[in-house]
Amino acid sequence: MQIDSLPRFSLAHLPTPVEELKTLSRRLAGPELLIKRDDQTGLALGGNKTRKLEFLLGEAIAKGADTLVTLGAAQSNHCRQTAAAAAKAGLNCELILNGKKPEVANGNLLLDEILGANLHWIERSQRAAKLAELDAQLRGQGRKPYLIPVGGSNGVGATGYVVAMLELMEQLRMSGRRVDHILFGTSSGGTQAGIVLGARVAGFTGKLHGLSIDKNDPEHFEYEAEVAQIANDCAAYIGSPVRVTRDEVKVVYGYKGEGYGVVGDLERDAIRLLARSEGIVLDPVYAGRAFGGLVDLIRRGVFKPSETVLFWHTGGAPALFAYAKELA
Ligand SMILES: *Cc1c(COP(=O)(O)O)cnc(C)c1O
């Protein structure tokens, strides 16, 4: 393995803390609960994309790029962290966002503008065409764009989560803890790919649960294969002989509610529960939904009270402010 010799641009405050959720564990009469604070990666309010961007930026700079181009939803945490990473590295940033420019920019979108990104609004169905057009246009102007896929989820980006899993294993070793289950929200797959591959590389023996925040089985039954593909691209990138099969990728379905970005009781209750028992703030789209799913699984007795479950907080809280109406 050659992670240490891969191009990397430092962005994150690492290691992120692992904390005990004592009050909440007691309240739920459930398993021991831990939280890994990747909402605290530090870059412009933090989140999981910062870890992926360290390796994506590394490659972009090594290739001589002067502009980052990526895409996402209007409240994309990935776009906001990409805009911040570009600013820090002295690169331009072009963001292709779904939908129409809202009257008031709030949450992540407000930060995109503050961070100096150039915004392009399009219909979601036009994404691929717009990306190709923008790429050609920038090249025509003599610029050197580096394209980052949705969520930064490819083999290069997932490397950030292989490193994260090695980091967590070291934290568990130092504290003498054993973790039986790790649960996190999953959407574009890079985080899960890195965690699954990192677990194999580091010899983690507990169970990994990616809770899908935007798909319901079997509608997207290829998702596990997509995650395994990203993990294997990542293994090739880092020079690991490990190969991940789709059966090793465990996805929890059934929590997508009314769909991506639509806040319901599950998220509202989960956000309040964690805030009021531990003073930790979740987000409405990803971590709030994933945590709501975890609480439901705990209440249904899926985990033994003697077990330890770690929730990987992937960030996203800036989006809370764009959902003020739905959350009130
Ligand atoms: C992007 C994101 C996720 C999902 O990560 P993927 O690598 O896209 O699966 C989870 N939580 C938050 C807050 C995110 O922004």
* Structural domain boundaries in the chain: 3-47+153-327, 49-152
Long-range contacts of 137-140 (CB under 8 A, 24+ apart): 138/67, 138/69, 138/94
Q: Which residues make Cβ contacts (< 8 Å) with residue 123, sequence separation at least 6?
A: 98, 99
Query: Measured from the CA of 191, which atom of ligand 1 is nearest?
Result: 7
Instruction: Tell how far the Cα of 18 is from the centroid of ligand 1, in angstroms.
Output: 19
CA torsion sign for 229, 314, 57, 100 is: positive
Produce one character per residue of 70-80: b if its CB has 16 or more CB atoms within 10 Å, e if not: bbbbbbbbbbb
Q: Which residues make Cβ contacts (< 8 Å) with residue 151, sequence separation at least 6?
A: 49, 52, 72, 78, 157, 187, 188, 189, 190
**Residue 293 CB less than 6 A away from ligand 1:** no
Reported confidence tier of residue 30, pLDDT bands at 50, 70, 90: confident
The domains spanning 3-47+153-327 and 49-152 adopt the same CATH topology: yes
Q: What is the pLDDT of residue 293?
A: 98
> How many other C-beta atoms are found inside a 10 Å radius of the C-beta of residue 260?
14
**Residue 25 CB less than 6 A away from ligand 1:** no
Mean pLDDT of 197-202: 98
Asked if residue 226 lies in contact with residue 191, where contact means CB atoms within 8 angstroms, the answer is no
Sheet strand arrangement including 18-20 = 18-20, 32-37, 308-313, 181-186, 207-212, 251-252
- The angle, 0 to 180 degrees and rounded to 10, between the axes of the packed helices 265-278 and 287-299 is 80
**Pocket perturbation via mutation, ligand 1, pick of 37, 184, 314 by most ligand atoms within 8 A of CB:** 314
User: In this model, does residue 218 exceed pLDDT 90?
Assistant: no
Domain 3-47+153-327 CATH class label: alpha beta
Q: 86-145 pLDDT, tens per residue?
A: 999 999 999 999 999 999 999 999 999 999 999 999 999 999 999 999 999 999 999 999
Q: What is the pLDDT of residue 167?
A: 98
Query: Measured from the CA of 184, which atom of ligand 1 is nearest?
Result: 10
Half-sphere exposure of 180 (CA within 13 A, CB side): 11
CATH for 49-152 (3.40.50.1820, 3.30.70.141, 3.50.50.60, 3.40.50.1100): 3.40.50.1100
Instruction: Tell how far the Cα of 141 is from the centroid of ligand 1, in angstroms.
Output: 33
Q: What is the pLDDT of residue 328?
A: 87
Instruction: Tell how far the Cα of 126 is from the centroid of ligand 1, in angstroms.
Output: 22
Q: 131-189 pLDDT, tens per residue?
A: 999 999 999 999 999 999 999 999 999 999 999 999 999 999 999 999 999 999 999 99
Query: Measured from the CA of 39, which atom of ligand 1 is nearest?
Result: 13
Q: 249-276 pLDDT, tens per residue?
A: 999 999 999 999 999 999 999 999 999 9
Instruction: Tell how far the Cα of 188 is from the centroid of ligand 1, in angstroms.
Output: 7
Q: Please state whether the peptide bond connecting residue 15 to the residue before it is cis, i.e. omega within 30 degrees of 0.
A: yes
Looking at every residue in the chain, the average pLDDT score rounds to 97
Which whole-number Å values give the CA distances from 254 to 199, 217, 266, 274, in the listed order?
A: 25, 8, 12, 21
CA gap 97, 327 in Å, rounded: 23
Mean pLDDT of 44-51: 98
**Residue 108 CB less than 6 A away from ligand 1:** no
Reported confidence tier of residue 10, pLDDT bands at 50, 70, 90: very high
**Pocket perturbation via mutation, ligand 1, pick of 52, 77, 283 by most ligand atoms within 8 A of CB:** 77
CA gap 205, 191 in Å, rounded: 18
Instruction: Tell how far the Cα of 173 is from the centroid of ligand 1, in angstroms.
Output: 26
Q: What is the pLDDT of residue 261?
A: 94
Q: What whole-number percentage of the chain has pLDDT above 70?
A: 100
Q: What is the pLDDT of residue 242?
A: 98
Asked if residue 150 lies in contact with residue 71, where contact means CB atoms within 8 angstroms, the answer is yes
Asked if residue 255 lies in contact with residue 211, where contact means CB atoms within 8 angstroms, the answer is yes
Give the active site residues: 76
CA gap 304, 291 in Å, rounded: 18
Query: Measured from the CA of 150, which atom of ligand 1 is nearest?
Result: 8
Q: What is the pLDDT of residue 219?
A: 75
Asked if residue 226 lies in contact with residue 232, where contact means CB atoms within 8 angstroms, the answer is no
Q: What is the pLDDT of residue 221?
A: 77
49-53, 80-84, 217-221: range with lowest mean pLDDT:
217-221
**Residue 283 CB less than 6 A away from ligand 1:** yes
Query: What residues form DSSP beta bridges with 311?
Result: 35, 183
Mean pLDDT of 221-248: 96
Residue the block writes with tokens 């390796």 = 55
Over the Cα atoms of the chain, what is R_g?
19
Which whole-number Å values give the CA distances from 244 to 40, 134, 225, 236, in the listed order?
A: 29, 35, 10, 11
**Residue 51 CB less than 6 A away from ligand 1:** no
The string of DSSP codes covering 151-168 is GG-SHHHHHHHHHHHHHH
